[in-house]
Amino acid sequence: MPIPAKPTLTTPPTAPVRGEDRASFATKANAYVAFIGTNVTDLTAAIDWQNTVFTAIEGEAADAAQSVLDAATQVGLAEDQVDLAAAQVVLATDEADRAQTVADSVSATANFGGLWSSLTGSVSPPLSVYEAGAYWQLIVPLADVTSVTPGTDSDVWIPIAATSLDIGAITYSFADLVADGLFVRPGNSYLQSEFPELFGIVGIGSAPPIFKLTSPSVVPGANGRDVTVSTNDDFVFVVGQSNPVATLYSRSGDVLTKETGITTGESMRVAGGTKDLSLILIGVFGTPFILLYSRSGTTLTKETAPATVFSGSTTTTTGCGFNFDGTYAAIIVNQNSVNNLVLYSVSGVTITEVDSVETLPGGSTSAGMAIHPNQNYLVCGYSNASTIELYDISAGTLSLTQTIDDTGGRLTGQRRAVQWSPDGLYLTAACDNGKVRVFSFSAGSLVEISQTYSGESGTPEVNAASINNGGDYITLAFQASPYVKVYPFSDGVIGSPGFVPSSVTTGPTACAVSSPYTGFSYVVSTTLPTFWAYKSNFPFNPATEFYVPDVPDLSSDQIGDWVPGVSAKAYVRAK
């Protein structure tokens, strides 16, 4: 009878080891439990093979003495396999016991009961508690949890881990957190907590989500009004009412350098340029109402302004700008208590009127205007009557497509009271009741998004609300304190908490503009210094990240599995 091939025993996987993080331990334990079934199958095959060998030996013993010797050899081999199988069974059984122990511990940790001293009544596993500077796992039911103090009976309570952090204690040192090697372990780019339910992530970082850049050595004159930027913020153009009434800055890294200033008798109110700032429209208080400049490098050249039919010393241009490809320009002018919207075609430096709407809601109140960043739409916002009007300008005409009432709050009378997000998916409206209205934009229609943001203390007017280029934060500019504040922004909703930069203007803000291209935000104030530039550290996840400017005043307390990598301290408080 032929001897079949010797079966092969599957090599066992790496066994779990106490002290590993829960995820790794559970993965290894699960693999070992799965291996037990495979090993039993292997052992059954080995025993079957042994029986076959024995049968073959007995059948062939009568044929020749040599067969007896061969059979003896096979018996020895079989005995070795039996010994190996027995050892594997013992090991697998031990690992299964260890896996069950770990499973019990993990389950107990997930059911953290808090302070043992606060518990009463009957308790059953799985359960873990904190007592005497350590965490304990309950391994048997207790009719009265107070009957056995953790640490006094190892048949009832077994230790999970000890920590040098007392409940409510705060540590700012990574070394303190990892000293016992039990709770927080270093990762490649983050801190990983083995027991996240035991910790509150109070805050990270010694740098705020947004901070002020060094001011240019020369700032615009008093009573600043508006700002517009070129592609990638290579150039920044600021206007105001006092000389120099307009200033062109170049940007290199985080440094803004004054290149050209305009000193004239005009009092400038608003500015809007093509994407590369090769053409810049400037709205003026009174005559000549509108100015046009071209830019080549750092040189500004005054061009022939578009013809207007406006007159009167009280006539004011309150909004101006170009569409996304520079083929159209628009201005909104308040003359004799009537708002006028004018649309122009653009060819080179020649700007020609193609349509106008001479009577708009708002009466004597200022109106703001914003042109869509990548479609041929514009909005006008008014601080009385209808709040917002949406116009389609794709055919070279002003076609009113939507009117939105002011039930959510009337707009403030600032040029930037309405602003599109850089991607054109949202429109913000800054209101005089301290709130911000946000609208989604799709298929040529605006839909308002409900907000939980209810304004700042004292209800200061919001003069501008500007969403950044990544769509993850929004900068608000106020008429009064806090003047500038930044909030997380997601899916059209203003989040919390808000952050006030460490350095802000102490006077009313005229506008805030977040760059469509970079993480920079620009704020123009009506008091000196009139121009402020900020840089963000966003994206910033408020669910797990906090800026804590004043450590003694720590109050936020949120649970999180991880703290994203930052080049600063992680503030962690034991719960």
The per-residue pLDDT for 418 is 92
Query: Residue 151: is it exposed, middle or buried by C-beta count within 10 angstroms (0-12/13-18/19+)?
Result: middle
pLDDT at 247: 93
Dihedral over alpha carbons 502, 507, 513, 519 (to 10 degrees)? -10
- Which residues are CB-neighbours of 531 under 8 A, at least 6 positions away? 215, 216, 219, 220, 224, 227, 238, 247, 522, 523, 524, 525
- Closest to 99 (Cα-Cα) out of 167, 30, 3: 30
- Which residues, including other chains, have CB under 8 Å from residue 496's CB and lie 6 or more apart? 452, 453, 487, 488, 542
* Confidence (pLDDT) at 29: 77
* HEC-encoded secondary structure of 302-321: EECCCCCCCCCCCCEEEEEE
Same domain, yes or no, for 389 and 511?
yes
Residue 59 lies in a domain: yes
Instruction: Name residues whose C-beta falls within 8 Å of residue 261's C-beta, 6 or more positions apart in sequence.
Output: 218, 244, 246, 247, 248
Nearest CA to 359 out of 322, 321, 398 is that of: 398
Predicted local confidence at residue 212, as pLDDT: 82
Residues 6+ apart with CB under 8 A from 171: 165, 177, 571, 572, 573
Helix 22-60 / helix 65-110 crossing angle, nearest 10 deg: 160
Instruction: Tell me, yes or no, whether 95 and 226 share the same domain.
Output: no
Question: Which of 106, 141, 161 represents a domain boundary (last residue)?
Answer: 106
3-state secondary structure of 9: coil
Neighbours of 21 (CB within 10 A): 12
Looking at 12-148, list the stretches that DSSP marks H as alpha helix, in order from N- to C-terminal side. Answer: 22-60, 65-110
pLDDT at 175: 47
317 is a domain residue = yes
**pLDDT digits over 462-509, tens only?**
989 999 888 888 999 998 989 999 888 889 999 877 778 767 777 888
Q: Which residues pair with 295 in a beta bridge?
A: 300
Query: How high is the pLDDT of residue 558?
Result: 30
Residue 427 covered by a domain: yes
Q: How far apart are CA 28 and CA 160, in angstroms?
A: 19
| CA dist list (Å): 458 to 49, 412, 485 | 87, 16, 14
Sheet containing 170-171: give its strands across.
Answer: 170-171, 570-574, 199-204
Is 466 found in the same domain as 332? yes
Task: Name the token pair of 135.
Answer: 């965490």
| Claim to verify: residue 102 and residue 221 sit in the same structural domain | no
Structure tokens at 32: 């070992």
CB of 283 closer than 8 Å to CB of 269: yes
Q: Is residue 1 part of a domain?
A: no
CA atoms within 13 A on the CB side of 294: 12
CA pair distance 291, 270, nearest whole angstrom: 10
Q: Tell me how many domains the chain contains.
A: 2
The reply to whether 192 falls in a domain is no
> Do residue 386 and residue 504 come from a single domain?
yes
Same domain, 276 and 404: yes
* 220, 348: one domain: yes
Give the length of the chain.
575
In a domain, 380, yes or no: yes
Q: Which residues contact 183 (CB under 8 A, 6 or more apart)?
A: 161, 163, 165, 177, 193, 194, 195, 198, 199
What CATH number is given to the structural domain containing 368?
Answer: 2.130.10.10
Q: Report if residue 9 sits inside a domain.
A: no
106, 122, 140: which is the final residue of a domain?
106
Contacts of 107 (CB under 8 A, 6+ apart): 125, 126
C-alpha triplet 515, 519, 525: angle, nearest 5°: 55
Last residue of a domain, one of 70, 90, 106: 106
Please work out, in degrees rounded to the nearest 5, the angle formed at the alpha carbon of residue 465 by the alpha carbons of 385 and 283: 70
Assess if residue 5 is contained within a domain: no
Could you read off the pLDDT of 273-320 as tens digits, one per residue?
A: 999 999 999 999 888 889 999 999 999 999 999 887 777 777 888 899
Which ranges of the chain have pLDDT less than 70?
A: 1-2, 59-78, 80-110, 133, 161-209, 359, 361-365, 384-386, 407-410, 412-415, 502, 537-575
79 and 224 assigned to the same domain: no
225 and 94 within one domain: no
Residues of the domain holding 416: 210-539
Where are the strands (E) in 336-394, listed by range? 338-347, 350-360, 367-371, 377-382, 388-392
**CA nearest to 476, candidates 490, 491, 492, 460:** 460
Whether residue 217 is found in the same domain as residue 344: yes
d(CA 400, CA 341): 11
251 and 372 in a common domain: yes
